[in-house]
Amino acid sequence: MDGLVWTKERREPRRRAPSVERFVTRAVAIADAEGVDAVSMRRVAKDLGSGTASLYRYIAGRDELLDLMIDAVQGEDALPAPSGDWRADLRECALRLRTLLLRHPWLGAELTGRPALGPNSLRWYDTVLAVAGTLTSDATLAALAVDTVTAYVLGAVGGEIAELQASRRTGMTEDEWRASVGPYIREVVGGGEYPHFARRVAEAGDVPAERSFELGLACVLDGLAARIPRT
């Protein structure tokens, strides 16, 4: 327990030293703009015009800083209290998580590892468990329902974020990328070796990310309704 940032007594900042909240806010801004790999104790302290030793006085290391960052962003948008309509409430939780992940593209990878245990993270999880509890009184099934919806959101949004990162990395918009690969795609389609892919190119329209997300989420919720008996 002594090693958890949440169990430590928070020191008061020295005169003119940035507060822990300012350090965390700056770290989140760096991660949003440049990726979480750009976040280091030295970089955060330097950006705030403080010595790295000052940051270590309040935060033991980068792992603690990441824990504080995760908890800070999960406290940005509080989830509404359960209404009793588990499907509508779980849908709303999923949509809010998607918004949060798109706002902070680095967050998804951090949430797929060890569980977040900060107060904001626990409050978020507790609320979603309460929502699932209106579907089933079985605590195990409720937790599995939450995990299933969360896994879907992380996977679906991960694809959206990958596209955004590809655009940033290549300097090409999606339309520009499509134009650049157009000749190759036409050659592949014309060869006749991949008929289902050719039909996809010829007949299937592009689906906006929001609509695709909503359709997948509806399928997940349909599955939960079918597999978990309402209690």
Question: 81-95, 113-127, 200-214: which has the highest mean pLDDT?
Answer: 81-95
Structure confidence at residue 65 as a pLDDT band (50, 70, 90): very high
> Residue 169 contacts by C-beta under 8 Å, 6 or more apart in sequence?
none
The fraction of the chain above a pLDDT of 70, given in percent, is 94
pLDDT of 15 over the 70 cut: no
pLDDT at 181: 83
Residues near 111 by beta carbon (within 8 Å), at least 6 away in sequence: 70, 150, 154
pLDDT in tens, 207-227: 888 999 999 999 999 999 999
Residue 44 buriedness (CB in 10 A; 0-12 / 13-18 / 19+):
buried
Domains recognised in the chain with CATH numbers: 5-74 (1.10.10.60), 86-227 (1.10.357.10)
**Statement: the pTM of the whole predicted model exceeds 0.75:** yes
User: pLDDT (tens digit, 9 = 90+) per residue, 185-208?
Assistant: 888 888 888 898 888 888 877 888
How high is the pLDDT of residue 3?
62
Is the predicted pLDDT of residue 1 greater than 50, yes or no?
Answer: no
Crossing angle of the two packed helices 86-103 and 119-133, in degrees rounded to 10: 150
Q: Please state, in angstroms and rounded to a whole number, the distance separating the CA atoms of residues 32 and 41.
A: 16
Q: What percent of the chain has pLDDT over 90?
A: 58
